Structure 1
Amino acid sequence: MQLKQLANISAALAAASCALLGQQAQAGTVLDDWQFNSAILLYNETDRVSAGEAILTARGDFGDDKFLNLGLVVDALTGASATGAVAQPYVQSFTRPSGRGSYDVAPGVIPLDDTFHDTRVQLDASWEQSLAPNWRVSGGGHLSKEYDYLSMGLNGSLARDFNQKNTTVSLGLGYSHDTISPEGGIAAPFAPMLLRPDFADDNSYQAAFDTTRDRADDTKDTLDVLFGLTQVINRDWLMQFNYSLSMADGYMTDPFKLVSVVNANGEVQQNLYENRPDQRTKHSLYWQNKLHVRGSYLDASYRYMWDDWELTSHTADVKWRLPMGDSWYVEPQFRYYQQSAAEFYQPFMLQAEPLPQYVSADYRIGKMNTYTVGAKFGTKLAQGNELSFRIALYQQTPENDGITAPGVLAEVELYEKVTAVMAQLSYSF
C-alpha cells in the first residue's frame, strides 16, 4: 500500500467530516478537529506466509464530548500455508482445494500449498458520546471482505464513571455474521482429497470431485460480551480488569485443511478434509497495568483464555517506554504465549482406528508456545505529531502432546517451528 493512497484517504475523511458538520470551512480548519493514525505493517515467515497491511484510523471531535471514529484496513497475504498433511520420506502429490491444479512436495518436507494469496479490505465506524453525567455510550459496525470471506458486524458499549472518575465500569456487546465461500465449494466432512491421475479423464475426475463437495458456502454467527473495570490506583498507576465471553455458532472448519490417514508404518494412505465442531464458547480474563516509573512508562498485561474445545492459553506481554532525550523514546517489548491442544487435534489418524466425530491437524490449535521480542522507536514532531518504527522477531514452536509417531513418521518433522520478522512504520497527525 502506498503512502499516496493513505494521503488520498485522509483527504476523503476530511471532506466527509465537512459534510457531517454542515460547515463550509477550509480543510485545514476541519483537520484541527481530527486525529489521524496511519501505519504500514510488513510480516514475513521463513519460507511461508508474507503479509503487507496498511491501516488508517481517524477520530473526529464534534464537541460536547461527541466523537466519530473511522477506520480502514487493507492487507494482502501470499506465500505457502501448511495443509495439515504430514511429511513423508518420498514425494507426495496434492490437489489444490479448488479442485483445479496440483503440486508435489519433496521428501521429508511438511506439505505447504504455495499458491496461498488473498486481499482483504475492512471498514470500521463508530460514534461515541456522553449519555448523562458520568455515563458514556458508543455504537458502530464493521465490514470486512476478502476473496472467499465476508464479515459484517455491529458493536456497542456503555460505561459508567464512579469515585470522581477514578473508577470506570463498562459493558460491551458485539455481533458478527460471516459468510465463507471457498473456491470449489465446501468439502463434506472427511471427504477424501482426489488426484487427477487416478481418473481416466477430466470429466470423470470432475464428477468424482463434485461428490466430495457438501455445499457452495456456509455462515457463522458470533456474539461477544465484555465486562470491564478500570481503576486509577494513584497518579502513576492505572489498572484494568476484563472478562470476555464469545459464543460462535456455524461453520468453523477450515475448508483448506487436511488430515493424513497413515498405516502402522506411518505411510499415508489418503488425505481427508478436516471436520470441526459447529459451536465454540470462549472465556477470557485480562489484567493490565500501566505505570509511570521515573519518567518511563511500563505496560504489563496477562490474559488467560479457556473454551469448550478444551483449548487453554496464557499470554504475558510487557512493554517499557524509555525516554531518549527530549523527543525520542525506545519501547522494548517481550510477549510470551502458551496454549494447550484442542480436544480433537490430531497430527494424523491411524488407518486401523475408526473415524472420530471431529478432527483437525491444524497446528494452530495444537499444543505450542510462542514468543515475540521487539522494540519500537519513536519521536515527537511538530504540532504533536508522532513518527515511530517497530521491529520484532516472532518464534512459534508447536509441541508433541504425547502422540507416538509410527514407522516413517518418526523420521520426519511433524512439529516444525515457524519464525517470522515484523516491521511497522506508524505516523500520527
Structure 2
Amino acid sequence: MRKIFIITGLLFATVISPAQEADQDSTLIYKKRVLESTEVDFLTSYYSQDGDNAAVSGGIGTEELTDFTPTFVVSIPLNADDVLSIDAGVSAYTSASSSNVNPFDGGKPADPFVASSGASSSDLWANMNASYSHSSDDRNKIWSAKASLSSEFDYFSIGLGGSYTRLFNEKNTELSINANVYLDTWKTIYPYELRPFGKNGNGLSNSLFNDITGDTNYDPIFQEFESKTRNSYSVGLGFSQILSKNLQASLALDVVQQEGLLSTPFQRVYFKDVEDSFIENFQLADAIEQLPETRFKVALGSRLNYFINEIFVVRTYYRYYNDDWGIKSHTASIELPIKITDKFTLYPSYRYYTQTAADYFAPYEEHLSTEEYYTSDYDLSKFNANQYGFGVSYTDIFTKFHIWNFGLKSIDLKFHQYKRNTGLKANMIAGGFKFILD
C-alpha cells in the first residue's frame, strides 16, 4: 500500500507545472499516512495477590485474589488522516475477600481468613472502547474523541472523552488537553448479615441469627444508600519538549472531580466502642463503609528520558498526588531499556510509591460509632510500596512471521513483583502481541 502511494505521488508531481508546484503545499502532493495499515494488538495479563487486611471483612482477613485479563485492540486507518481504534476485553477474577460478602454460604465454618465458595467469590468484568482520531495535513494538530462501556455484576459505566494536541517548533514541542466523563451506576450489594436490617428485612428475628454468639443483641448501624450513581469528570494538560537530540522532558497535570456513591456498599467496619457479635468464626459488621459523596483529586507528573547511546536509554518518572480526603502521595520510577540486538530489548524497572492515610481511615476496631465517616480499606491507609519489574521485547519491522494475512511486528513480555509494607504482595505477568495486516 505504501508503494502505491509513493508511485502515485511521483506520477502526480510530474504533470504539475513548476508554477503550480511553487504555490502548493507539498503535503497535497504526497502525504504520509498516520497509520499505514490495520494493526491488531492482543494483550493479556495474569495477576495474583495475597494479604491479611481485607476491606470486605473490616480490615482483617484474606486478600487473596487472582485475575486474568485478555484484551484485543484493533486500529484501522480510515484514510491518510483518520484512525478508528476499538478495544475490547474481559477480566475474570476469583477473590477470597469478596467471597466473604456472604461468608455463610460455604461448606466450611465462616471465617475472615477462609474463602467462602458462594457466588460472590468470582466475577467477570467486560469493557469496550472506541476512539476516533484526526490529524491535520501537516500533522501538527491532532484531535480525538472516544466512548466506552464497561459492566460487572454490580457495576455499569459509560464514558465519553476527547483530546486535542498541538505540535510546534518543528514538532519539538507538544501541548495537549484532554477531558473525560464517566457515568457509573452501582447495584448496591451489602454484607449478608446486614440485609435483614434493610427496608424489607425482619431484623434480629431472621433465622440467620439463631446461632449468634458474643453480643446476642446485635444492633448494627445500617441504612441503605439512596444514591446509586457515581460521576467522574477529569481534565488533563500535557506539555512535552525535546531538549536535545538525547533528552526529552514532559509535564502532565490531571484534575478529577467525583460525585455520588464513593463508598463501597459491601465493605464492613468494626467499632471499638461496640461489643462484638459472631456467627461461627466470623464477626458480624457493626456498619458499612461511609465516605463523603464528593472527592477532588489533583496530580502533577513529569517524565525525563535520556538516550545514552544505541544500547542504553534511561526513562524516569515522578508524580505528586493530593486529594481533599487527606491523601498525599509520591510516585517515582525508573526504567532502563537495554537494546541487546536489532530485534531484542530488555526492560529492567523499579517503582517506589508512598502515601499518607485518608482522614477517614482507621484499622480494625479503631473507629468510634459516633464518627460521621469511616473506612478500614487499606488502599486508603498510610503505606509505601516497592515494585520491581523486568521485561523483554522482540521487534521485526519486516513482519516475516505470518498468521493468515497478519504479520507479527512485535512481542512484549513483562513480569512485576509488588510489595507493600502492610503485608500485601502481588505478582503480575503481562504479554502483548502486535500484528500488521498485509
Query: Is this a same-fold pair by TM over 0.5?
Result: yes
Unaligned residue ranges in structure 1 (runs of 5+): 1-30, 84-93, 399-416
Matched residue, 1:123: 128
Q: Residue 283 in 1 paired to residue 298 in 2?
A: yes
Matched residue, 2:265: 255
Matched residue, 2:256: 246
Matched residue, 1:392: 416
Provide the secondary structure at the position in 1 that maps to 2:121: strand
The alignment's TM-score, normalised by the length of structure 1, stands at: 0.75
Matched residue, 1:10: none
Aligned length: 362
Matched residue, 1:367: 382
Superposition CA RMSD, Å = 3.7
Matched residue, 2:82: 66
Q: CA deviation at 1:64?
A: 3.1
Provide the secondary structure at the position in 1 that maps to 2:379: helix
Matched residue, 1:230: 240
Deviations, residues 381-420 of structure 1 (Å, cap 9, x unaligned): 342711122112111223xxxxxxxxxxxxxxxxxx1111
Provide the secondary structure at the position in 2 that maps to 1:364: helix
Letter matched to residue 273 of structure 1: I
**CA 348–201 in structure 1, closer or farther in 2 if over 3 Å, else same:** closer
**CA 226–105 in structure 1, closer or farther in 2 if over 3 Å, else same:** same
Unaligned residue ranges in structure 2 (runs of 5+): 1-34, 51-61, 212-217, 278-282, 400-407
> Using the alignment, how far apart are the partners of 2:289 and 2:307 within structure 1?
49
Q: CA deviation at 1:338?
A: 0.8
**CA 367–302 in structure 1, closer or farther in 2 if over 3 Å, else same:** same
Deviations, residues 102-136 of structure 1 (Å, cap 9, x unaligned): 97455xx7586675322111111111113575322
Matches within 5 A, 1:81-230: 81=97, 96=102, 104=109, 115-130=120-135, 134-183=140-189, 199=205, 201=207, 212=222, 214=224, 218-230=228-240
> Using the alignment, how far apart are the partners of 1:265 and 1:210 within structure 2?
10
Provide the secondary structure at the position in 1 that maps to 2:229: strand
Matched residue, 1:345: 361
Query: Contact (CA 8 Å) 1:303, 1:315: kept in 2 or not?
Result: yes
Q: CA deviation at 1:366?
A: 0.4
> Using the alignment, how far apart are the partners of 2:184 and 2:108 within structure 1?
30
Q: Which moved more, 1:239-248 or 1:126-135?
A: 126-135
Matched residue, 2:11: none
> Using the alignment, how far apart are the partners of 1:348 and 1:230 within structure 2?
45
Q: Residue 36 in 1 paired to residue 46 in 2?
A: no
> Using the alignment, how far apart are the partners of 2:147 and 2:91 within structure 1?
19
Query: Contact (CA 8 Å) 1:179, 1:217: kept in 2 or not?
Result: no
Q: Residue 303 in 1 paired to residue 303 in 2?
A: no
Q: CA deviation at 1:165?
A: 1.6
Matched residue, 2:370: 355
**Partner of residue 340 from structure 2, selected from 324, 337, 345:** 324
Matched residue, 1:419: 425
Q: Residue 315 in 1 paired to residue 335 in 2?
A: no
Q: For the pair shown, which has the larger CA radius of gyration, 1 or 2? A: 2
Deviations, residues 301-353 of structure 1 (Å, cap 9, x unaligned): 111100000101111121111012332121001111111100010113458x5
